[in-house]
A and B are shown apart, each in its own frame.
Chain A
Amino acid sequence: MRTDRTALVTLLVLSAAFAAFFVLPFAGLAKRAIEDGKTWELARSGTAQAALWLSVWTSTVTLGPDDRFGTPVAYLLSRARFPGKAIVDAAIDLPIVLPPTVAGVALLTAFGRRGLVGEPIEAWTGQTFAFTTMAVIMAQVLVAAPFYVRAARSGFDSVDRRAEAVAYTLGASKTRTFFRIVLPQVRPAIMAGTVLCWARAMGELGATLIFAGNLEGTTQTMPLAIISAFEGSSLGLAGAIALSVMLLGVALGVLVVFRLVSNQETWQA
């Protein structure tokens, strides 16, 4: 009994300490935002609005390639056996563990004006990537992809193979079985992966700063606007706080809506 109680108390104290550590930074942010009279005005400034809009739409566009190309990859990783699979598995997770700045430098060495493919592309088409919104999206696709692929893969891993086998015995084609039997089961995982991917893209800073640059309206997403404000742009520290609160609000809103939607789906199923 005594040991049980000690364990429980320890559990509670540790959880409380963790919760405090987790909540305090947001509390500090909220306090400053409320005390500073200009928060609302700064949040409505052109710079803030342009950055929020750019962040939201580029993060949403990022989902296109990550979902389209990530789903087959996740399916292959879940089903196929091939030599070197462990290496491919690890490589896909690389953008999670590497600092995004490394991703930015890597993108430059590939798609920069002197990069592996960037140089021939500029020679043929005159098109360069750096300083364009395209570069922002490329950076986000790269750093956010693993979050999608991981989630989708675990979805494929947990598919009930018996239902698939039954579909085959009933004469369904592979394609039909995939879309009618496999995909519906994977949907919640794909949805979760999509939200994670979107959230990661919204928060992307390092790779964008290095690969895409920082210009209002073109490449300055919310995280870049926040760091610019913090580093002394005209918005100043109060601006950095106002933008941070905006970003938090939008991210929280999206996560909550997603939870509500996915819970509803679980009930209906």
Chain B
Amino acid sequence: MGRATVFFALLVGAALSACCGNGSDGAPGTIDGEITVFAASSLSEAFKEVGAAFEKANPGTEVTFSFAASSALAVQINEGAPADVFASADTAQMKNVVDQGNAEGSAVFTTNTPVVVVPKDGKAVATFADIAKPGIKLVLAGKDVPIGRYAREVLAKASGTGGVSPDFSDRVLANLKSEEANVRAVLAKIQLGEADAGVVYRTDIVAAAGDVRVIEIPAPYNVLAEYSIAVVPGSPNNATAAAFTAFVRSADGQAILEKYGFAAP
């Protein structure tokens, strides 16, 4: 047997063991083993703590997270990504996944509020109406990213009757310089001072400690961001996935979310 054959055999062996690894998923019905939670970017800090608390309360479990825009996560789950739980920053992206049969039992578990953020030393924008001033560099998340959609809803409301002005939305969107992939990318552009204003969630400010200032969106124009969570059916670890969603909605889970500025539904 030539050396090359041995090498080839080793290669195949390595490929097989790499591709078909099967982590320690607990037996059906018991709460242990690994789960993967696909969660909205804005949940990054809060969910890491929720995950740690869940692992502590349920020894033998391990929660790993994939944080991204809910719209991106929805596409990935619908394409068969190995998620056990989906936590979306809106109900629209959750519906996309539920409609395709890739999530079930969805429920709103927390809420958040959009705010305008500006660089700490930024002078260009002082009030909500200022974001329509010509020359302002504005960044928003993409139209289908939940925070991007909420921001556009806010602009539409501010252009309606009793709003700032009928052309408010048009004037603001004329200042749009970039459509970012997720809420944290918007925040980064403000932290860096590249853009003059952006729209993120109130809870995101934690991640930009001190680099940004918040300008409130007047209540009549603002919207409530409703986050929903669901189990992905066919998850090999359904019991643990269900236990995690229950934990998020329990008093313990809600207390952690509130600590990070989220509000009860």
Contacts and interface: CB of A to CB of B under 8 A. Distances in A.
Interface residues of A, number: 30
Contact of A213 (B11, B93, B180): B180
Given A231-B145, A233-B143, A108 B194 contact: yes
A7 B2 contact: yes
Interface of B: 1-2, 4-5, 7-8, 11, 68-69, 71-72, 74-75, 78-79, 93, 137, 139, 142-145, 176-182, 189, 192-195
A236 B139 CA distance: 21
Interface string A219-263: 100000001101111101100000000000000000000000000
B181 A6 contact: no
Given A228-B142, A230-B72, A232-B74, 13 more contacts: A6-B4, A10-B5, A112-B194, A114-B192, A131-B137, A131-B178, A131-B195, A213-B139, A228-B181, A231-B69, A232-B69, A233-B71, A233-B179
Nearest to B6: A10
A153 to B, nearest CB: 34
A157 to B, nearest CB: 33
A3 B2 contact: yes
A262 B133 CA distance: 54
B219 to A, nearest CB: 29
Nearest to A113: B193
Looking at B79, B176, B180, B192, which has the most chain A CB atoms within 10 Å of its CB?
B192
A227 B142 CA distance: 11
A145 interface: no
Given A113-B193, A114-B193, A227 B5 contact: no
Interface in A197-228: 209, 213-216, 218-219, 227-228
10 contacts: A3-B2, A10-B5, A112-B194, A114-B193, A130-B177, A131-B137, A131-B195, A213-B139, A228-B142, A232-B71
Contacts of A7: 2, 4
A163 interface: no
Which secondary structure dominates where chain B touches chain A?
mixed
B179 A228 contact: yes
A185 to B, nearest CB: 39
A13 interface: yes
A112 B189 CA distance: 10
Interface in A1-15: 3, 6-7, 10-11, 13-14
Given A7-B2, A213-B139, A237 B75 contact: yes
A213 B178 contact: yes
A128 B74 CA distance: 35
Contact of B177 (A6, A131, A237): A131
Contact of A215 (B8, B144, B179): B179
A112 B8 contact: no
Interface string A137-160: 000000000000000000000000
A227 B68 CA distance: 13
Contacts of A219: 178
A69 to B, nearest CB: 26
B5 A6 contact: yes
Contact of A227 (B8, B145, B181, B194): B181
Contacts of A218: 177
Contact of A233 (B4, B68, B144, B195): B144
Contact of B176 (A6, A215, A228, A232): A215
A214 B180 contact: yes
Contacts of B5: 6, 10
